[in-house]
Amino acid sequence: MEVAVLNQSGAETGRKVSLTDSVFGIEPNDHAIYLDVKQYLANQRQGTHKAKERAEITGSTKKIKRQKGTGTARAGSIKSPIFRGGGRVFGPRPRNYSFKLNKKLKTLARKSALTYKAQDNKLSILEDLQFDAPKTKAFVQLLSDLKLSDAKTLFVVNETNKNVVLSSRNLQKSKVVTVDQVNTYDVLNADSLILSESAVEKIENLLK
């Protein structure tokens, strides 16, 4: 599969990049994608939630009423979960939500996500970005030239470019990552995937 290389004005440069079928043209595995996205979202959870149970509630330990003769159920503690202000039954406790996935499965998931973008014609190749200074206005102009102003975009660059990252940081719908930061969730969550020309070969070497 060949894709034309665009310049920063959105025009074709006349060059084309050939995408390897082993990375951008495989048979997508939806279950691998599901597991990888599930792990990514689980890893974002802090897991610091906590509710007090009856042993942790501050309150009197005095028996609140006599055992028999009241006509109601017996009760021994004001901290009982059945009373207002009592402890919670089986409340949430701090925990780690992360879980392990094999490297080959994660690689398969990323390949599947990239294949879906290529099949849907939502993948573009852009010549390597160079900004003289960090300017959000310049990045907004780039999105306008690429006709992606209203779309969620993921830019994948070969190496960290401070000016490019800072220029895009204030834009809610745009994200810039390096090749080694590419993950299945971000690829699928973006309406359009833009790869820098030099990043294509690095992605293929990383996922082959």
Each residue's pLDDT tens digit, 10-39: 888 888 888 999 999 999 999 999 999 999
Confidence of residue 128 (pLDDT cuts 50, 70, 90): confident
Overall average pLDDT of the 179-204 stretch: 92
Residue 116: pLDDT above 90?
yes
Query: What is the residue extent of each domain of the chain?
Result: 2-45+98-207, 49-96
Q: How far apart are CA 142 and CA 148, in angstroms?
A: 9
Confidence of residue 8 (pLDDT cuts 50, 70, 90): confident
φ and ψ of 94, to 5 deg? -55, 135
Report DSSP state, residue 194. Answer: E
Q: How far apart are CA 92 and CA 170, in angstroms?
A: 35
Asked whether the beta carbons of 105 and 36 are under 8 A apart, the reply is yes
Instruction: Kindly report the average pLDDT of the chain as a whole number.
Output: 92
Overall average pLDDT of the 68-80 stretch: 93
pLDDT reported for residue 61:
86
Confidence of residue 159 (pLDDT cuts 50, 70, 90): confident
Determine what percent of the chain is predicted with pLDDT higher than 90. Answer: 68
CATH class of 2-45+98-207: alpha beta
Residue 115: pLDDT above 90?
yes
pLDDT reported for residue 13:
84
pLDDT reported for residue 15:
87
φ and ψ of 183, to 5 deg? -135, 160
Q: How far apart are CA 80 and CA 63, in angstroms?
A: 11
Confidence of residue 190 (pLDDT cuts 50, 70, 90): very high
